[in-house]
Amino acid sequence: MSLLVIGTLAFDDVETPYAKRDDALGGSATFFAVSSSFFGPVRLVGVVGQDFPDAILARLRDRSICTEGVEIAEGKTFRWGGRYEADWNTRHTLKTELNVFEHFDPKVPSDYCGSDFVFLANAAPAVQMKALAQCTKPRLVMADTMNLWIDIARDELVELLGKVDGLVLNDEEARMLSGERHLISAARKVLEMGPKFVVLKKGEHGAFLISEDAHYAIPAYPVDEVVDPTGAGDSFAGGFMGYLAAAQDTSAATLKRAMLYGTVTASFCVEGFSIDRLEACDRGAIERRFNEFHSIVSL
Amino acid sequence: MSLLVIGTLAFDDVETPYAKRDDALGGSATFFAVSSSFFGPVRLVGVVGQDFPDAILARLRDRSICTEGVEIAEGKTFRWGGRYEADWNTRHTLKTELNVFEHFDPKVPSDYCGSDFVFLANAAPAVQMKALAQCTKPRLVMADTMNLWIDIARDELVELLGKVDGLVLNDEEARMLSGERHLISAARKVLEMGPKFVVLKKGEHGAFLISEDAHYAIPAYPVDEVVDPTGAGDSFAGGFMGYLAAAQDTSAATLKRAMLYGTVTASFCVEGFSIDRLEACDRGAIERRFNEFHSIVSL
């Protein structure tokens, strides 16, 4: 089945208590695409500046990521800079230079319009809806969002929620969006806004899936050493949807297995800067860690 | 099979961001005993002051908790006071009045000495060893500890670890004891010190079991509303060992199921002050939540 992601390609300047990396390839669509590419081809829609090396797009294409939908616009590529505290959960954003992403007008190439699985990575809900409107017969649409949009574009976000099947969000966002403190109540309230399922990400504390007919909670994979948490959420979404698209199924049982695959790709993501560790993996590495994680969470 | 706990009975003065309760019945042995009593009889060794109401001991006896080993000493009962932040993970100890517990010299009644399952709740390792020395043929011994003992009584603690089968500790304690930052590496290092298994408690983020032949990670049960986290760890241990004692088994598969039962009793504990919520439960309520939790964590 065909999988499409609309989101950012970026350069990140990342600081952790242990190391620092400038000009790291990042962006929601990048992490999603690389993580989902283990399961099959993926189509990428985004925008980069003229400073974006062709060689990177070629590297992505080598992983069966179709970059036909990556527009090269006049100006510079989106750049994000942040610093993590030693607990990994506290992140300080040091810079957000939208650059070419500021006026991103997603254009889904005509041969992508019929994609079955669509991931709308974090962006203004109006932009996400513009992208979605170009998809003619999606079988499953999942969206990400962030506190900024809950705050300043709530109406558009609520409109978007009526059009998607799944939403991924972290605990803080779930509380903000629903007005409920308790996470499960918060997720239930979000379900009432339209999505058929909600994936609550709790970082190093695991993830929770809630839908009408499934409640599923998993811890995080116990990685040996976190190097850089940037991209973990999008890598989770990539593994999750990559598996769904490959399985060609959206039943509760398949969504649950997809949670494990999402955890696995996210765990590889955080073991390196940028997509370093993910790029060094193959499907075999994913399956070995899936089996290990499956045994860790199984009675 | 017979189950014995040696630990504290106490009065707690607890403050949360939402409520306050003084003179709440607490103590490690209390929470353990009540939580394990759902699965069968439990024997309690501890000390209280002359201010400790007989009626409370009678309430415990009504739950098949044998209080023959509870010494009534001259002076006042151990008292602890603390305040929780809204994140529930940050706890400020406001008072620790050891009172009669200061010179606690555990005396295991002769008819308890042959107990099969023994839990050494948090106390000075020397006291824990004194209690253990009176047990003639324990089949499984589990101990709890705290940062204080890792800090000021490390040698005795290491000696104790050579004599126990299992150790429960939280992530901070595991790091302190092992000198390893990474939790799994920390747990492995603790295993080298003697115990056959380690249970890592991560509060609202679940728990991890590590032994030579089992790695098992579970999230916490998603409680509707936390009222008071005091006693959660001991309630976990109580459900865990209560189930083991009832199952008369210590295989990896049974240890894993015990993790779920420990999570269930801990979840009831935190839904009320003191043992309020636990006391309002029966075995049926435990089983219903076990089944619910089991389905939440199962593929």
Determine the residue of chain B that is closest to A182 in CA distance.
Answer: B224
Is residue B22 classed as helix, strand or coil in its secondary structure? strand
- Work out whether the CA dihedral A220, A222, A226, A231 comes out positive or negative: negative
Determine the residue of chain B that is closest to A218 in CA distance.
Answer: B219
- pLDDT at position A201 over 80: yes
- pLDDT at position A203 over 80: no
Number of folded domains in chain B?
Answer: 1
The CATH number of residue B261's host domain is 3.40.1190.20
Chain B residues with CB inside 8 Å of A213's CB? none
ipTM for this model: 0.76
Q: Cα–Cα–Cα angle for A225, A228, A234, nearest 5°?
A: 115
How much is the pLDDT for B25? 98
Query: At A269, which helix (H) or strand (E)?
Result: helix A252-270
- pLDDT at position B23 over 90: yes
β-bridge mates for residue B208, sequence order? B200, B217
Is residue B296 one of the residues assigned to a domain? no
- B219, A217 in Cβ contact below 8 A? yes
Average pLDDT, chain A: 95
Segment B73-85, tens digit of pLDDT = 999 999 999 999 9
Report residue A205's pLDDT band, with 50, 70 and 90 as the boundaries: confident
Measured from the Cβ of residue A44, the count of other Cβ atoms closer than 10 Å reads 28
Is residue B157 one of the residues assigned to a domain? yes
How much is the pLDDT for A183? 83
Is residue B299 one of the residues assigned to a domain? no
**How, if at all, do strands A117-120 and A140-144 pair?**
parallel
Cα separation, A273 vs B216, whole angstroms: 28
Cα separation, A152 vs A126, whole angstroms: 12
Cα separation, B99 vs B76, whole angstroms: 6
Query: At B236, which helix (H) or strand (E)?
Result: helix B232-247
Determine the residue of chain B that is closest to A210 in CA distance.
Answer: B296
Residue written as token pair 């099979």: B1
Report residue A17's pLDDT band, with 50, 70 and 90 as the boundaries: very high
Segment A95-117, tens digit of pLDDT = 999 999 999 999 999 999 999 99
Report residue B86's pLDDT band, with 50, 70 and 90 as the boundaries: confident
Cα separation, A244 vs B6, whole angstroms: 51
How much is the pLDDT for A86? 82
CA dist A11 → A34, A51, A82, B105, B215 (Å): 15, 10, 11, 64, 38
How much is the pLDDT for B169? 94
Full 3-state SS string of B108-145: CCHHHCCCCEEEECCCCHHHHHHHHHCCCCCCEEEEEC
- Residue in B73, B62, B71 with CA at minimum distance from that of residue B6: B71
**Domain span holding position A112:** 3-297
Do the chains contact at A206 and B208, CB–CB below 8 Å? Answer: no
Residue written as token pair 């952790």: A16
Is residue B15 classed as helix, strand or coil in its secondary structure? strand
Residue written as token pair 């409109």: A159
Report residue A184's pLDDT band, with 50, 70 and 90 as the boundaries: confident
Report residue B184's pLDDT band, with 50, 70 and 90 as the boundaries: confident
- Work out whether the CA dihedral B30, B261, B149, B105 comes out positive or negative: positive
How much is the pLDDT for A222? 87
Across the A:B interface, residue pairs with CB atoms under 8 Å apart total 66
Report residue B155's pLDDT band, with 50, 70 and 90 as the boundaries: very high
Report residue B68's pLDDT band, with 50, 70 and 90 as the boundaries: very high
Interface residues on B facing A, Cβ-Cβ cutoff 8 A: 182-185, 202, 205-206, 208, 215-219, 222, 224-225, 253, 256-257, 260, 294-299
Determine the residue of chain B that is closest to A259 in CA distance.
Answer: B299
- B98, B75 in Cβ contact below 8 A? no
Q: Which of A217, A260, A298 sits opposite B222 (nearest CB)?
A: A217
B241/chain A closest Cα distance in angstroms: 17
Do the chains contact at B205 and A208, CB–CB below 8 Å? Answer: no
Report residue A299's pLDDT band, with 50, 70 and 90 as the boundaries: confident
Do the chains contact at A253 and B298, CB–CB below 8 Å? Answer: no
Cα separation, A83 vs A94, whole angstroms: 7
Q: What percent of chain A has pLDDT over 90?
A: 89
Is residue B275 one of the residues assigned to a domain? yes
Do the chains contact at A215 and B296, CB–CB below 8 Å? Answer: yes
**How, if at all, do strands A42-48 and A65-72 pair?**
parallel
How much is the pLDDT for A152? 96
- pLDDT at position A225 over 90: no
Tell me phi and psi for residue A288, to 5 degrees: -65, -45
Q: What mean pLDDT comes out for the span A188-198? A: 96
Chain A residues with CB inside 8 Å of B247's CB? none
Do the chains contact at A298 and B299, CB–CB below 8 Å? Answer: yes
Average pLDDT, chain B: 95
- pLDDT at position B240 over 90: yes
Is residue B90 one of the residues assigned to a domain? yes
- B297, B218 in Cβ contact below 8 A? yes
Measured from the Cβ of residue A249, the count of other Cβ atoms closer than 10 Å reads 16
- Which tokens sit at B264? 């269930």
- pLDDT at position B204 over 80: no
Report residue B147's pLDDT band, with 50, 70 and 90 as the boundaries: very high
